[in-house]
Every structure is written in C-alpha cells, then in structure tokens.
C-alpha cells in the first residue's frame, strides 16, 4: 500500500472551464476527506465520505463543487466554471478513525488563469 494517491499533481485551467480531480485512498480506509489549502494558510475542510455516503459538506463547497465516491473506494472532486479564487492545493485524506490518524495525499495544485 503506497498511501493516498492524488491525480493530477498539477492542473492549469482557464477561467470558466471544468476540472476534475481524483483521489485513491488507502484501500482499507472507509473514511475519505477533501480539504483545500491556499498559500500561507492551513487546510480547510470541504467534505467527508464514509464509504460511498457523503455525510458532511462545508459551506465553502459552493454549488459549483461536487464530490463523489461511487463505490466507496476512489473519489472525484469536480469544479465547474472555475474562477481565479479556486486556485489552491486540493488535498485528499483517508482514515479508519482518529486513533490511527489521517493520511494525506500530496495534493492537486490547481491554477486558474
């Protein structure tokens, strides 16, 4: 098991385009999280899945954002009609529970031009 994998590592897109990111968690982890990190700040919570169910969403997740985890394994995060303010590092994490901690991927860096 090589940890949490995120693809792509970098994405440059024009304003108004749609983008999709993928996260492959550690295989036995039933919990999956998306966070967003802007320059000089700590990561901010976006959404949480337990298996395939999306159980919690932040108010940061506007209606242009959608996340799925169709079979309780990998997850995708889609941003529609991207804006410059969406430029950030998007981080995925997975976990069994607090006791074991949360394993983060290396992130997808999105630049909207």
Partner 1 sequence: AQSVTQLDSHVSVSEGTPVLLRCNYSSSYSPSLFWYVQHPNKGLQLLLKYTSAATLVKGINGFEAEFKKSETSFHLTKPSAHMSDAAEYFCVVRDTNFGNEKLTFGTGTRLTIIP
Q: Which residues bind partner 1 (CB under 8 A)?
A: 4, 31, 33, 35, 40-45, 48, 50, 55-56, 58, 91, 93, 98-99, 101-107
CB of 59 to partner 1, least distance (A): 11
The answer to whether 23 and 31 have CB atoms below 8 angstroms apart is no
Phi, psi of 16 (to 5 degrees): 100, -15
CB of 40 to partner 1, least distance (A): 8
The answer to whether 71 and 4 have CB atoms below 8 angstroms apart is no
Residue closer to partner 1, measured from CB, 18 or 41 = 41
CB of 112 to partner 1, least distance (A): 20
Residue closer to partner 1, measured from CB, 58 or 76 = 58
CB of 28 to partner 1, least distance (A): 17
Phi, psi of 99 (to 5 degrees): -55, -35
Peptide bond into 47 cis (omega under 30): no
Residue closer to partner 1, measured from CB, 55 or 113 = 55
The answer to whether 93 and 101 have CB atoms below 8 angstroms apart is no
């Amino acid at each position: 098991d090589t940890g949490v994998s995120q693809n792509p590592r970098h994405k440059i897109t024009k304003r108004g385009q749609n983008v999709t990111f993928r996260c492959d968690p550690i295989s036995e982890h039933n919990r999956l999280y998306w966070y967003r990190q802007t320059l000089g700040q700590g990561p901010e919570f976006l959404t949480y899945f337990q298996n395939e169910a999306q159980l919690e969403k932040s108010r940061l997740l506007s209606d242009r954002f959608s996340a799925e985890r169709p079979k309780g394994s990998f997850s995708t995060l889609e941003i529609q009609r991207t804006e410059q303010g969406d430029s950030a590092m998007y981080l995925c994490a997975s976990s069994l529970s607090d006791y074991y901690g949360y394993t983060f991927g290396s992130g997808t860096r999105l630049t909207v031009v």
